[in-house]
Amino acid sequence: MNESKHFLPFTQPSLDEATIAAVVEVLRSGWLTSGAKVQAFETALSALLGQRIVKVMNSGTAALRMALRLANIGEGDQVITTPLSWVATSNVILEAGAKVAFVDVDFASRNIDLALIEPALTPQTRAIMPVDLAGLPVDRNRLYEIARQNHLRVIEDAAQSMGAVWQQQRIGAIGDFVAFSFHANKNLTTGEGGALVLPPDIDPALCEQLRLQGVKRGRDGVMDVAVLGYKSNMTDIAAAIGLGQLQQLDLITARRRLLAHRYFEQIRPEWGLQLPPPDNGQSNWHMFQVLLPLGINRARFIEKMRSQGIGLGVHYPAIHLFSLYRTIGYARGDFPIAEDIAERIVTLPLFPAMTDADVDRVCQAIETCLVTFNSK
């Protein structure tokens, strides 16, 4: 078949002409780095999230790193997180000089198993960093009760959950630190970028200083650097994309939910796939992920799907099995549920431009591939 003509990727950004025109306007303005568009984007995000203070960054990773810095987490401290995420989640903890303390995930939700957090606490534990995998929110009620009882900070890795809700409130509208990603494959993209929602006890001026090399400017133009900062600021080019995306966020989320419902309707139980939890109106359906039946070779399955013009993703390998994490003491068997999920999970195509027929085509290809495996 002509794969280039019919290939369906697992994700694809949705950018309208108005957003493209806004980017062109920024390019023509001559002001490309942080400026009026960044300020406007922060204001719009704040309005979306109940007027909380929001500071945008050049990546979701930068937002997580900033949260750790503002929470004064570093050498000798411990942060509890999940081994089933993009590796940036735990890398920023190591970069801060703190210890990564993984706990296993819940099989159904694939999110961190909150029941395992308190047994993992030590006197050095300072924070919990949960991840909303595929856009499904972690139970915020139980999470914050654990944090309150044990005097811990929460740094929400909400990289995948922009547009998701918890008990009728948008993720980011409540809570401690909340970090979003606007990477190209996220529901709301700026190409590359992120944002950090600040709790009320954190000085936003300090966040702004740290975001750009620790620089503090006086009204007289005099500049000083009193703290070591980063190069984490967002450009106006990226912010212009974000402003356009923000206007479409609810439509994007609604369409993703409809596509997810279509998958639930079309995937048949006899195929033996482990589906994600049914839609409860909370997930933003950043990804639709299934677990392959035991005994199916994932690499061959992905290749067979690709031969039919369907692109799949793998999100994610178990972090603790990467070489870097093995050198600090983690090993196979430490977190068996995360390992099982990581070895069988595949991400199916899901993005707003898809049609119902596209979903049906993916499902037909899955059935064909599984029949091929089962006939051998």
Catalytic residues: 186
| Phi, psi dihedral angles at 79 (to 5 degrees) | -125, 130
Report the sign of the C-alpha dihedral through residues 107, 108, 110, 116, in that order. negative
The answer to whether 302 touches 316, Cβ cutoff 8 Å, is no
Dump the DSSP string for 186-229.
Answer: SSS--BS-EEEEPPTTS-HHHHHHHHBTTEEE-TTS-EEE-S--
* Beta bridge partner(s), residue 124: none
Comparing CA positions, the residue from 184, 156, 183 lying closest to residue 172 is 156
Distance (Å, whole) CA 96 – CA 68? 7
Q: What is the CA radius of gyration of the chain?
A: 21
Query: How many CB atoms within 10 Å of residue 204?
Result: 14
Residue 91 phi, psi (nearest 5) = -60, -40
**In 35-46, which positions are buried (b, 16+ CB within 10 angstroms) versus exposed (e)?**
eebbebbbebbb
**DSSP code for 116:** G
Token code pair at residue 16:
């309208």
